[in-house]
Amino acid sequence: MFDDIRHAFQELLNGNVAPEQRRALLHEMRETLIRAKMAKDDLRESVRVTEARLEKERAELAVVQRRKTLAEGIKDAETVTIAARFESQHVERLAVLEKKLDAALGELALLEREVEEMTTQFKAAQAGVGSGLRAGAVDEQLDPLARDPGLDRELRGLDREQRKAANDAEADLRLAELKRRMGL
């Protein structure tokens, strides 16, 4: 259902997204998650409506069957024929509604799993997974910087400075936009 965004999550988590595109992609992913959660709510409402229609249809079928039985008891052939026709219509509607409910429940379960998976991936991406930032212990054989603590400390300091500068620039842009909206 969300194949494009799932692919984008994988690209982001695997570090295949340029740093300058990362923020825009995270924003797009957040918006997609919001839409997916709204779709999940809509689907839940659809399930609720279908369940209500199913119960109503079952009640109507019970009434028709009761009337048919009463008509058979008094040997009213015309009423029995009409009741039988309505009974078959209600049975058919019931079958369709049950299939619709099963399909909607299956789709809801699938969507819930996808949203949960995307939420987990989004949180990981927000935490910096795939950004090139070091999140945990590094295998020293794979990372020569791990062997030089001074250089590693210096690089982390530079990284902090870059993040701070980016945050400051973003804050300045937001402030300028707010001032523009307020006419200042």
What is the per-residue pLDDT across 35-88, written as a single tens digit (0 to 9) for each? 888 989 999 999 999 999 999 999 999 999 999 999 999 999 999 999 999 999
pTM over 0.75: no
Closest CA to 116 of 104, 127, 124, 128: 124
- pLDDT score of 28 more than 90: no
Percent of the chain at pLDDT exceeding 90 = 39
* Mean pLDDT over the full length of the chain: 80
pLDDT band at 10 (very low <50, low <70, confident <90, very high): low
Tell me which of 104 and 2 has the higher pLDDT: 104
DSSP state for residue 76 in the 8-state scheme:
-
- pLDDT score of 99 more than 90: yes
| Domain coordinates in residue numbering, the chain | 3-132, 134-184
CATH number 1.10.287 given to 3-132: yes
Q: Report the pLDDT value the prediction gives residue 125, as an integer from 0 to 100.
A: 75
Can you list the pairs that 51-55 forms with residues at least 24 positions away whose Cβ atoms lie under 8 Å?
51/101, 53/97, 54/94, 54/97, 54/98, 54/101
**Dihedral-angle region of residue 139 (phi above 0 means left; psi in -120 to 50 means alpha; beta otherwise):** beta
CB-based contact 112:40 (threshold 8 Å): yes
Angle between helices 19-73 and 3-13 (to 10 degrees): 150
d(CA 72, CA 85): 14
Mind listing the pLDDT tens digit for each residue in 114-132?
Answer: 888 888 887 877 776 655 5
d(CA 45, CA 84): 33
